[in-house]
Amino acid sequence: MTTTAPTIETVRALAAKYNTWGKWGPDDQLGTLNNVTPERIKAAAQLVRKGRVFSLALPLDQTGPQTGSFGRYNPLHHMIWDGGDIAAGAQDHIAEVRYTDDAAYIILQCSTQWDALAHIFHDGKMYGGHGTELVTSRGAQRNAMTNAKDRMVGRGVLLDVPRHLGKPWLDVDHAIQADELAACAEAQGVEVGEGDFVLVRTGQIAMCRDAGSWGDYAGGPAPGFGVSVADYFCPKGPAAVITDTWGTEKLPNETPDCFQPLHIIMIVNAGIHLGEMWDLEALADDCAEDGVYEFQLVAPPLTITGSVGSPVNPQAIK
């Protein structure tokens, strides 16, 4: 475990310690998704006992959390054909049937989403040691999100940190540490294992709803992971790690000389996909009610060629 205030040197040491480049061969573009085996997928299906399904996605509309910072905007949805067109006779040349169509402009990282292994670079390299030249104006030539199109399904585990601490949500200056995650899992009676999809609740979405505003949720001060959680997650080999915050990590970061240090350690080096802005509130309530914190998770990305992230409507099935 890290015991002193982390710096970029801490990040470099943890990145080297947990680097998995080449572990699954020189052509690997999946990272720890390689740990999602057919046997584990079958076992995850056995976790469905009640037949309850929870969508973990935020609405894709203009009331979303984005403010334009980091070049990210809420979705723009418009109708190509609507009821007014029908009433005006614009489709009268078609026999009998009438229809409506719509379109949307969506920043792929604007709402509930996956970060691809091509999303983050450090020292000019993404996962596997590939350079920036492999992400062009046409998209990612390596580590694109579409590599995971049939891999985002398996055992989901929820770690409800604020409930474990007796709070509705974490304070915005709370940095979750490795020992807190271990204590939370033990208290909930659940173990995090290889190939799992680990969902960590901070309650920040509930906090925003209580305030009636997103405020500075998108990129502002937020609870989240401290650097030490690398020592909790990376040895376990989870398929992915997910939170309900804009950027997974505690903001401002613990490292004053490095922005988003865990993105460097976990995405670039360990090959762990990250999920952000997942709405975990209804699922967390149900887990607290029945005491069951494991479930089947189904969360495939959109098949947008060359994408470095993807909107997702994750389904937790209990």
pLDDT digits (tens, 9 = 90+) for 4-33: 789 999 999 999 999 999 999 999 999 999
Residue 307 phi/psi, 5-degree rounding, is -70, 150
Global pTM value: 0.95
Residue 15 phi/psi, 5-degree rounding, is -60, -45
Least confident of 45-59, 64-78, 153-167, 282-296: 64-78
- On the CB side of 295, CA atoms within 13 Å amount to 25
Burial 133-170 (b: 16+ CB within 10 A, else e): eebeeebbebbbbbbbeebbbbbbbbbbbbbbeeeebb
* Residue spans per domain, the chain: 8-67+108-317, 73-105
Rounded CA-CA distance 147/119 in Å is: 13
> Which are the contacts of 115, defined by CB distance < 8 A and separation ≥ 6?
109, 263, 267, 273, 274, 275, 276, 308, 309
Neighbouring CB atoms inside 10 A of 208's CB total 17
The arrangement of secondary structure in 8-67+108-317, i.e. its CATH architecture, is: 3-Layer(bba) Sandwich (3.50)
User: Residues 230, 232, 238, 242: is their CA dihedral positive or negative?
Assistant: negative
pLDDT digits (tens, 9 = 90+) for 36-59: 999 999 999 999 999 999 999 999
pLDDT digits (tens, 9 = 90+) for 66-117: 999 899 999 999 999 999 999 999 999 999 999 999 999 999 999 999 999 9
